[in-house]
Amino acid sequence: MKSILRGRILSFLTEPQHAEDTDAFTYLEDGALIMEGGKILHLGDFVALAPDQRLGARVIDHRPHLIMPGFIDTHLHFPQMHAVGSWGKQLLDWLNTYTFPQEARFADPAHAGRMASWFLDQLISQGTTTVATYCSVHRASAEALFTAAAGRDYRLIAGKVMMDRNAPAAVLDTPQAGYDHSKALIAAWHGKGRIDYAITPRFAITSTPEQMEAVATLIREHPDCYVQTHLDENRDEIDLALRLYPRARDYLDIYESYGMLGSRSLFGHCIHMNDRERSAMAESGSVAVFCPTSNLFLGSGLFDEAAMRRVGVRTAIATDVGGGTDYSMLRTLDEAYKVLQLQDCDFDPYRAFYSLTLGNAKALSKAHQIGTLGPDSEADIVVLDSRATPVMAMRMETVTSLREELFVLQTFGDDRAVKQTYVHGVASKAQHPDPPPSAVSGQKI
Ligand code: GUN
Ligand code: ZN
């Protein structure tokens, strides 16, 4: 059935170049968005709709809220829901102490299935309609997530992690098993409905050269799959990676030598980079993914966005849950703003909201499908209430422009500001997603 969403509508056309760049987006004060069969058919003024456009359509009135393309999260970890917000330690300790034990539990298909449902419901309640995520090393974890996404018609990029050393046995595979299981998952899921596969060597530290050869083979055999990994996040990590690959010129060179760079390659973090690495990223069209809540929480460092822009590296923004502390892309914008402030750079609200939508869609080479509300786009949509909390409502009393309103959403917003999320045209926000049963029965001192 045809639906017409009525409300204030904002959709970016290109990247805003400055704070007054209103040509970069479409904004309709009383807008109408017509959708049918999961696709957007029309975007225009509500009062200008022709009678035949209204015929047989159900009008859903979202006034006075703001209708935008659904948010896109380009890097997070599905098996880290019980590791998020774990106290202390920087990257390598944090992985060993909290993350790997939680990821080990995803060998159990029942656990993976329950967590996959909760994970996607949580993302939907945050207004996030596309994610690129890591699964655990276990094939069952990826099967569970792909199955849950297919059931919700959710746009998902994911892959089982490949890792064959420097972690507990319960989260290791082998070069052959990593290759075989990735291959089987690609055959079963890549290109099915709204699902894409990402070949996912966790990072150089947890893959032997033999496994990296298997990664290179997978990339050669499946050039249309994504590739995702971690790069230059933490100084101890970089030292260890270079000790494990002593012939590499720098960290990126490890990945380069296994054919991992390219326009479908997503490199998480990219904090401590040298000029050569940035140039190689730019030349290959690889994407550097900025994960502000994670970089602050794990004390990793500050993403140098200005340096990326200077040499033309493609960038994206992401939560990196569970190193990142929040599933909300709005909270992520807030922390990104502060990371850039610390480097004397600004993050204008137009550019911030562009980055969550069209910017991240471009980074995933999916701007023809998601990230805007243009005709023929997939109907992934978020409806935002800028007065969702008492603090926001009070602050909104002095707001006089869309730009200021976006900054209120960016600075104070979270899932409470998300009134509704449409996933492929279907209203999908659960009002109160149930937490999974607790793994811990009592608290000790
Ligand atoms: N590097 C390798 N694995 C991880 C992970 O799970 N989280 C983060 N933040 N960095 C990583
Ligand atoms: Zn990560």
Taking the centre of ligand 1 as the mean of its atom positions, its distance from the CA of residue 349, in whole angstroms, is 28
Ligand 1 atom with minimal separation from the 206 CA: 2
Gap between the Cα atoms of 383 and 270, Å rounded: 32
- Closest C-alpha among 285, 288, 326, 302 to residue 71: 326
Q: CB pairs under 8 A, 24+ apart, for 391-398?
A: 392/417
Token output for 115: 């967590």
Virtual torsion, Cα 351, 68, 26, 24, nearest 10 deg: 20
103 lines ligand 1 (CB under 6 A): no
Ligand 1 atom with minimal separation from the 134 CA: 6
Taking the centre of ligand 2 as the mean of its atom positions, its distance from the CA of residue 75, in whole angstroms, is 6
Pairing type for strands 25-36 and 3-12 reads antiparallel
Taking the centre of ligand 2 as the mean of its atom positions, its distance from the CA of residue 125, in whole angstroms, is 21
Gap between the Cα atoms of 342 and 336, Å rounded: 10
**Ligand 1 test: best mutation among 97, 202, 255, 300, most atoms within 8 Å of CB?**
202
Task: List the residue whose alpha carbon is closest to atom 11 of ligand 1.
Answer: 230
Ligand 1 atom with minimal separation from the 205 CA: 2
Q: Which strands make up the sheet holding 418-423, listed edge to edge?
A: 39-45, 25-36, 3-12, 58-69, 381-384, 418-423, 426-427
Gap between the Cα atoms of 376 and 39, Å rounded: 6
- Closest C-alpha among 134, 90, 80, 76 to residue 237: 90
Ligand 1 atom with minimal separation from the 294 CA: 9
- Closest C-alpha among 232, 216, 218, 217 to residue 190: 218
- Closest C-alpha among 228, 235, 229 to residue 301: 235
Q: Could you tell me if 99 and 83 are in contact, meaning their C-beta atoms sit under 8 angstroms apart?
A: yes
190-231 confidence digits (pLDDT tens): 999 999 999 999 999 999 999 999 999 999 999 999 999 999
- 195's CB contacts (< 8 A; 6+ apart) are 146, 149, 150, 155, 156, 157, 158, 189
Q: Which ligand is nearest to the CA of 293?
A: 1
115-126 confidence digits (pLDDT tens): 999 999 999 999
Taking the centre of ligand 1 as the mean of its atom positions, its distance from the CA of residue 369, in whole angstroms, is 29
Task: List the residue whose alpha carbon is closest to atom 1 of ligand 1.
Answer: 230
Taking the centre of ligand 1 as the mean of its atom positions, its distance from the CA of residue 93, in whole angstroms, is 11
Q: Which ligand is nearest to the CA of 84?
A: 1
**Ligand 1 test: best mutation among 76, 99, 294, most atoms within 8 Å of CB?**
99
- Name the DSSP class of 358: I
Ligand 1 atom with minimal separation from the 77 CA: 6
- Closest C-alpha among 14, 42, 7, 13 to residue 28: 7
Q: Which residue has the tokens 């976006």?
A: 406
Residues of the chain with pLDDT under 50: none
The whole-angstrom distance between residue 400's C-alpha and the CA centroid of its chain comes to: 31
166 lines ligand 1 (CB under 6 A): no
pLDDT score for 214: 98
Q: What residues does 59 pair with on adjacent strands?
A: 4
Q: Could you tell me if 277 and 238 are in contact, meaning their C-beta atoms sit under 8 angstroms apart?
A: no
- Closest C-alpha among 394, 297, 409 to residue 10: 409
233 lines ligand 1 (CB under 6 A): yes
Q: Could you tell me if 113 and 144 are in contact, meaning their C-beta atoms sit under 8 angstroms apart?
A: yes
Taking the centre of ligand 2 as the mean of its atom positions, its distance from the CA of residue 255, in whole angstroms, is 16
Gap between the Cα atoms of 364 and 410, Å rounded: 22
pTM above 0.75, yes or no: yes
77 lines ligand 1 (CB under 6 A): yes
203 lines ligand 1 (CB under 6 A): yes
pLDDT score for 431: 63
Taking the centre of ligand 2 as the mean of its atom positions, its distance from the CA of residue 268, in whole angstroms, is 6
pLDDT score for 26: 98
Taking the centre of ligand 2 as the mean of its atom positions, its distance from the CA of residue 386, in whole angstroms, is 30
Q: Which residue has the tokens 């329950």?
A: 114
Q: Which residue has the tokens 């709709």?
A: 49
- Closest C-alpha among 232, 214, 199, 221 to residue 164: 214
Ligand 1 atom with minimal separation from the 291 CA: 9
Token output for 19: 């704070």
Other Cβ atoms less than 10 A from the Cβ of 39: the count is 15
Taking the centre of ligand 2 as the mean of its atom positions, its distance from the CA of residue 251, in whole angstroms, is 16
Taking the centre of ligand 1 as the mean of its atom positions, its distance from the CA of residue 390, in whole angstroms, is 36
202 lines ligand 1 (CB under 6 A): yes
91 lines ligand 1 (CB under 6 A): yes
